[in-house]
Structures are given as C-alpha cells and as structure tokens.
Amino acid sequence: MKMYVGNLSYDTSEADLRTAFEGYGKVSSANIVTDKYTGKSRGFGFIEMENNDEANEAMTKLHDTELNGRNLNVNEAKPRNDNRGGGGGVRKKRDGYRENW
C-alpha cells in the first residue's frame, strides 16, 4: 500500500521517514518529494509497505504524531492525476479584447 505523508519538517530525511514506519512492518520505499530547481524538500513524501494490514496500522498510529517537530498527516495515497499540464493561457485578439483558451 502506498501512503501519503504530509506536514514533514524540511529537515526530515528519507531515512527518518523510513525508520518511523519500519516500527510497524517492512517498508518497500520511502520518498520525500523535492523541488526540481532547488532540491529542497516540499514538505511531503510517500511510503510504500508490502503488507496492507501493517500499512493500515502504521497509518492509524502515526497520523497526527510528531516527527522532527511537526505533526504528520498520513493517508492512503490517491492515484496520480495526469491532468497537470498547460492551459490557462490568455491571448490578445487583434480587435483589443482578450480570450481565454
């Protein structure tokens, strides 16, 4: 099961995150999302655990508990929506008014 972990301290490492969840079972992966330009943490990450029962227990026990000075927000991860790109542009027409496209 893949879980979203939010409200992470910017000082939290992937090893810290893995250690917190390993108390409840085997962790397949621990990933903290970083800004692609600065490389700094964006304050959230993902944990994957093989056993759903262990993952549910970890989710229940670790939600709203403190790690590195911040209370964690732990939920089951939702599938990624690939509707992320483009749009929202505005172009000016020749006669002076603007149109969204």
Q: What is the pLDDT of residue 85?
A: 60
Q: What is the pLDDT of residue 64?
A: 96
So where are the chain's domains? 2-76
What region, left, alpha or beta, does residue 43 occupy, with left being phi > 0 and alpha being psi -120 to 50 degrees?
left
Please write the tens of the pLDDT for every residue from 3-14. Answer: 999 999 999 999
Q: What is the pLDDT of residue 86?
A: 58
Please write the tens of the pLDDT for every residue from 17-43. Answer: 999 999 999 999 999 999 999 999 999
Pick the CATH number of 2-76 from 3.40.50.300, 1.10.10.10, 2.60.40.10, 3.30.70.330: 3.30.70.330
Q: CB of 48 within 8 A of CB of 59?
A: no
